[in-house]
Amino acid sequence: MPPNAECDIMARMKPPSVLVMMEPVSLPRLEGIARYAREHHWNLMLDDRLAGGISDWRGDGVIATLRRRSSRLAAVRKLTRAGIPVVDLTIECLRLRLPRVISDHTAIGRLGGEHFKARGFENVVWFSSGWSEVHRRRYQGFSDVFAKKVPRIGLRNLRRRLKECEKPVGVFAYNDTDAAQVVYAARELGLDVPDDVSVLGIGDDPFLCENQSTPISSIRQDLVRGAYEGADLLQRLMDGEAAPAEPVLIPPTGLTARASTDTLAHPDPLVRTALVYIDRHLGESFGAPEIAQALGIARHKLDRLFAEKLEHSVGTEIYSRRIARVKHLLGDPSKPVHAIAEECGFCNVAYLSNVFRKETGISPRAWRNRICAGPITPSACE
């Protein structure tokens, strides 16, 4: 055997040494990296544990969340010039050309818009305390749903804009921290959350979302999967594969609905009350007669109200809200399809499947598999 070939074999057998540069520390991302490292026998090191500094580190690859700190960027440039592959899990430093695995921020924005749209909101705003490429993509996806540039508000004018804007208003915040600031500002102004100001965040951080005066609805980023996929890309680069031309996009896994968006928007108070009734009784057997009785009006008046204000029947509204709830619940892989059918007012799974396939072209399980596809838990969606 040629001596060089023996060296190549030994190099391939040696466990890769991988440096993790994460700022700020993200436990879900560390979980995804650690899971891949255990499966592939990596040796991991954190950049803040290096005695000699990042620039002097010599290993096989780097996985990072690069921000704008110049010292880290300079270190990464030096490592890449030395031939060490680097995978970035963010898009804050696009001028630094690197392979990337990132959340699909445009899809996250669209999901936020669809949540408000399904709840009848046309009066919506975007709130963020900063601005970056991530903000821009989320904002763009949100605006796309409403086919217009949604108004943007920042921290300096948050209270003034909340006070002045037409109510009810849906506020989509850049992340859960910003969403918590909106809830706090609304309370200070004496506005009700969610009836005056409906608030949606991003990140689904239980500490922030569940420990507010009104618990915050939030979109679930799959940071674990993103980090796992980033680690897999790094392994392929270390094996000599070419870097992908575009960032790998990781879709959101769904939305956790809490009290901050538990309302429906419509200028007509009777319609709004009817919509709230429908939304809160989807698991029950009911129709127009029960809604009319709850509102204290005649059935024919309810039918005329829906025809004039919503341009469709009461039955169509119930049907569309049941399908929307099914789609939302399918994003939780731990919830069985038969439980979703019961919770959304379908008598059995077969009936739900027939209705859902007619509406979407695919079965509920196929829809779930599309949402939950990923290498970490391939059986989670079955």
Q: What is the mean pLDDT of the chain?
A: 89
Give long-range contacts, CB 8 A cutoff, 24+ apart: 73-79: 76/21, 79/54, 79/55
Higher pLDDT, 340 or 14: 340
**Beta pairing class for 217-220 and 254-256:** antiparallel
Determine the length of the chain: 382
pLDDT tens for each residue of 108-139: 999 999 999 888 898 999 999 999 999 999 99
Distance CA 280, CA 286 (A): 11
Say whether pLDDT at 84 is over 70.
Answer: yes
Q: What is the pLDDT of residue 14?
A: 82
Domain 3-103+224-251 has CATH 3.30.70.20: no
The separation between CA 305 and the C-alpha centre of its own chain, rounded to angstroms, equals 35
The predicted pLDDT at position 236 comes to 97
Place of tokens 């829809």: 367
Query: Three-class SS of residue 108?
Result: helix
pLDDT of residue 378: 34
Do you find a cis peptide bond into 24, omega within 30 degrees of 0? yes
Locate the domains of the chain by residue range. Answer: 3-103+224-251, 105-221+255-261, 269-372
pLDDT of residue 269: 84
Please say whether the beta carbons of 99 and 237 come within 8 A.
Answer: yes
pLDDT of res. 381: 33
Whole-angstrom distance, CA of residue 200 vs CA of residue 212: 13
For the stretch 257-283, pLDDT in tens is 899 998 888 878 898 889 889 988 999
Q: pLDDT at residue 25 above 90?
A: no
Fold of 105-221+255-261: Rossmann fold (3.40.50)
Identical fold for domains 3-103+224-251 and 105-221+255-261, yes or no, is yes
| CATH for the stretch 269-372 | 1.10.10.60
**Separation CA 356–CA 358 (nearest Å):** 5
Yes or no: say if 344 and 319 are a contact pair by the CB < 8 Å rule. Answer: no
| Among the listed residues 57, 64, 52, the one whose alpha carbon sits nearest the alpha carbon of residue 17 | 57
- The confidence score (pLDDT) of residue 372 equals 61
Q: How do residues 323-380 score in pLDDT, each as one tens digit?
A: 988 987 887 788 899 999 999 999 899 999 999 999 989 999 998 887 665 443 333 3
In the chain, what percentage of residues exceed pLDDT 90? 68
Distance between CA atoms of residues 86 and 92, nearest Å: 15
Read off the DSSP letter of residue 16: P
The predicted structure's pLDDT at residue 237: 97
Quick: pLDDT tens for 193-240.
Answer: 998 999 999 999 999 999 998 999 999 999 999 999 999 999 999 999
Task: Tell how strand 217-220 and strand 43-46 pair up.
Answer: unpaired
Please tell me whether residue 66 adopts helix, strand or coil conformation. Answer: coil
